[in-house]
Structure 1
Amino acid sequence: MQKIEGQNSDDKTSATAPTIGEIEGRFLVLELVALSCSTRLLSLHDGQETADLTAEILRGIETAGRNLGLHFRDIVDAQSYAEDLLRDAQAQADGLEDIKHACLKLKEEK
């Protein structure tokens, strides 16, 4: 991380600014954790509960975005990203369910 000096050269305080790579790495970790957790969560719920959860998340993004003073377009983009992430998680959850049923079927056949 790069050191950023205070406003005055006499100022002894300094802040550490993360590099672009560190920021990208943190976003990658957050995305992978969110995707993994969402996949497991969505595998436990039916379609209506999943739709309710998605709606709640989108409302939360809008509320938090407005509280932070984000532009409308940024809020919409964040919601779109969340929908994509949840769609990917649902696809992975469905895949896990298919694998589980295939394994159970194989055990029954033995």
Structure 2
Amino acid sequence: MPKIEGQNSGDHSIATAPTSGEIEARLLVLELIALSCSIRLLSLHDGQETADLTADILRGVEIAGRNLGLHFRDIVDAQNYAEDLLRDAQVQADGLEDIKHACLKLKEER
């Protein structure tokens, strides 16, 4: 791992720069955690609450992106990525609901 000099004022300690593999792995972990949590969260909400949650997240991405000085295209790409992630989570959450209802129906028939 390459070494970089600390950037804090007066800080001349050596910090280790992460490799691209480490960064990719961390992003993968964050994506999997976000997807798993979103699936569980979306399975508890109705359509309107889900739409409101999505709108809040997209607004948050825009505000955070502007505060970070991201270009407009990058903000839009991040919002599209968030929408894709939430859409995938909703499909999986709906699948879990279908399985749950099928199991409950099976138990009732016994």
Using the size of structure 2 for normalisation, the TM-score is 0.92
- Following the alignment from structure 2 to structure 1, what is the Cα–Cα distance between the partners of residues 66 and 5? 32
- Following the alignment from structure 1 to structure 2, what is the Cα–Cα distance between the partners of residues 60 and 6? 31
Matched ranges for 1:63-74 at <5 A: 63-74=63-74
Residue aligned with 1:45, SS: coil
Shift of 1:3: 1.6
Give the equivalent residue in structure 2 for 1:109: 109
- Following the alignment from structure 2 to structure 1, what is the Cα–Cα distance between the partners of residues 88 and 46? 16
Give the equivalent residue in structure 2 for 1:55: 55
Amino acid at match of 2:100: K
Deviating 4+ runs (over 6 angstroms): none
Amino acid at match of 2:101: H
- Following the alignment from structure 1 to structure 2, what is the Cα–Cα distance between the partners of residues 102 and 77? 38
- Following the alignment from structure 2 to structure 1, what is the Cα–Cα distance between the partners of residues 79 and 16? 30
- Following the alignment from structure 1 to structure 2, what is the Cα–Cα distance between the partners of residues 5 and 84? 38
Give the equivalent residue in structure 2 for 1:42: 42
Residue aligned with 1:70, SS: coil
What stretches of structure 2 of length at least 5 have no aligned partner?
Answer: none
- Following the alignment from structure 1 to structure 2, what is the Cα–Cα distance between the partners of residues 12 and 83? 42
Percentage of matched positions with identical amino acids: 86
For this pair of structures, how many residues does the alignment match?
107
Amino acid at match of 2:56: E
Give the equivalent residue in structure 2 for 1:30: 30
- Following the alignment from structure 1 to structure 2, what is the Cα–Cα distance between the partners of residues 92 and 66? 31
Cα deviation code 1:33-61 (max 9, x no counterpart): 00000000000000000000000000000
Give the equivalent residue in structure 2 for 1:96: 96
